[in-house]
Amino acid sequence: MERVLAKDAKSSVGKNIVVKGWLHKKRLLGGLTFINVRDRSGVIQIVVEDKSEVEKLRGLQIGTVLSITGNVIEETRAPGGLELHDPKIEVLVPVTHESPIEIDKPLSHKSENLDTLFENRVIGLRNLQEQKIFKIRSGMVRLIRDFLYAQDFVEIHTPKLVAGATEGGAEVFKLDYFGKEATLAQSPQLYKQIMVGVFERVFEIGPTFRAELSATTRHVSEVTMLDIEMGFIDSHDDVLNLVGDMVFHVLSKTYETFADELKSLNAPELILKDKFPRYTVAKVHELYSKDTGQDTTDEKDLIPDEEKWICDYAKSKEGCEAVYVTHFPVEAMKFYHRINPDDPTTVMWADLLFRGLEIATCPEREIDYQKLIGQMKKAGINPEEPGYKYYLQAFRHGLPAHGGCGFGVDRFVEKTIGLGNIKEAILFPRDLNRLAP
């Protein structure tokens, strides 16, 4: 007999079917036993009256792999309105080890309990509440892909093992590469720009590695980044509009598609406008300093509290939890950024903030070969190094005006669901202290 999934059992009412899955919960009521079996589609209830069938499960723990043949009965008292009767139970994989962590009740996500959560991740992810986080994440990544494919982007995969040179800024992991020194890519930045010369519009969703000694709720050492790069832009606005439209689309659809899951995870209500408000860095400093009395006008970047503050401000003043902060000062720029032609003290660079956290950074690139070389030298970079010379080759052979974004998928998922720590949105997070599981 062919296996039927829990969610499809309703089309087999009155028929004998086979379900296969994991023992999720047992409730023994004397002459009557309810067991829940979990498969990839959900959970189905089975009613067992035959004592010898119940005995097959004696001593077996949650997680035991079962195959159960039974009659599908409509029953208003059953969760989901139906259940299996007169089951024949076959134990496929017996489990005798007690589950180290709860599997049918929500797990603690308090910060002081996260270590336990991740230490028991292998089993904890089977918890239905934990699964919801990663089903939503999967759905969001799919929405991103669908949106970008519809805009004629090509998905690419760039190397993660790269030559010593990097884009600067973040600390990198160094490793031995057949006697040479290599690093783990901190972003696909240089390669995605090279690929503009091939496909105009490219994106990549993949891991990037940061060796930052940061222990906060928003940092991990292995980050899933969405990198987008688009050529033949008429202005920096083209980039901000594309990324803004994408985020609006993904958030709206996610809140629609996963309404039940988000509600049960206590996600906040989504407050969004289709065009995100924009503030310059200087304006944020000004508004923040005036409101809090803390003078930030000399800061080159936003301080973490300003990121929270401006999102709250935009939420209450503009009815939008996502904002663009534009016109970052040249002091904070990277060598490949394009300096604002109308104001050389600022860069064509905006950050996208959502619910108090930087989600994406969206700059336009410098395409003038001589200017780029100059900016590299100013940043202390040798253009002859192998990590850069091939990058520069792409410019010598023609790259159009382009820009894009580096977009933190983990942070985006975290904030969409309203989790408190980026690690909660990652299956097996990597941080200063954790390399396993």
Positions 9 through 68 that interact with RNA (CB under 7 A): 25-32, 34, 45, 47, 49, 58-59, 61-62
Q: Is 130 in the site for RNA (CB under 7 A)?
A: no
Query: By rule CB under 7 A, what string of x and - marks binding of each residue 290-329 to RNA?
Result: -----------x-xxx------------------------
Q: Give the range of 248-256, 281-289, 357-365, 367-375 binding RNA by CB under 7 A.
A: 357-365
φ, ψ at 230 (rounded to 5°): -130, 135
Tokens of 24: 């999720």
Listed residue (283, 323, 350) closest to 415, CA to CA: 323
Distance in Å, CB of 382 to RNA, minimum: 19
In 10 A of CB 189, how many CB atoms? 24
**Closer CB to RNA, residue 113 or residue 138?**
113
Tokens of 391: 């990058």
**How far is it, in rounded angstroms, from Cα 60 to Cα 34?**
15
**Closer CB to RNA, residue 227 or residue 395?**
227
Candidate residues 112, 176, 342, 384; the one interacting with RNA per rule CB under 7 A: 112
Q: Is 84 in the site for RNA (CB under 7 A)?
A: no
Q: Give the range of 103-111, 176-184, 234-242, 311-319 binding RNA by CB under 7 A.
A: 103-111
Q: How many CA atoms lie within 13 A of 66 on its CB side?
A: 32
In 10 A of CB 32, how many CB atoms? 11
Query: Could you tell me the CA-to-CA distances from 237 to 151, 194, 232, 326, 363 in Å, in that order?
Result: 16, 21, 12, 11, 10
How many residues bind RNA, per CB under 7 A?
A: 72
Distance in Å, CB of 256 to RNA, minimum: 26
Pairing of strands 174-177, 180-184: antiparallel
Listed residue (374, 348, 375) closest to 361, CA to CA: 348
Distance in Å, CB of 73 to RNA, minimum: 7
Candidate residues 55, 74, 115, 368; the one interacting with RNA per rule CB under 7 A: 115
Candidate residues 11, 138, 216, 235; the one interacting with RNA per rule CB under 7 A: 216
**How far is it, in rounded angstroms, from Cα 402 to Cα 77?**
60
**Closer CB to RNA, residue 367 or residue 410?**
410
Candidate residues 12, 16, 69, 116; the one interacting with RNA per rule CB under 7 A: 116
Q: Is 75 in the site for RNA (CB under 7 A)?
A: yes
The amino acid present at 419, given as its one-letter code, is: L
Q: Is 355 in the site for RNA (CB under 7 A)?
A: no
Distance in Å, CB of 178 to RNA, minimum: 28
Distance in Å, CB of 93 to RNA, minimum: 16
**Closer CB to RNA, residue 171 or residue 200?**
171
**Closer CB to RNA, residue 98 or residue 342?**
98
Q: Which of residues 237-296 bind RNA (CB under 7 A)?
A: none
Candidate residues 411, 416, 417, 425; the one interacting with RNA per rule CB under 7 A: 411
Candidate residues 221, 326, 346, 416; the one interacting with RNA per rule CB under 7 A: 221
Q: Is 99 in the site for RNA (CB under 7 A)?
A: yes
Residue 50: CB partners within 8 Å, gap ≥ 6? 86, 87
Distance in Å, CB of 398 to RNA, minimum: 27
Q: Give the range of 133-141, 256-264, 351-359, 383-391 binding RNA by CB under 7 A.
A: 351-359
Query: By rule CB under 7 A, what string of x and - marks binding of each residue 160-199 to RNA?
Result: ---------xxx----------------------------
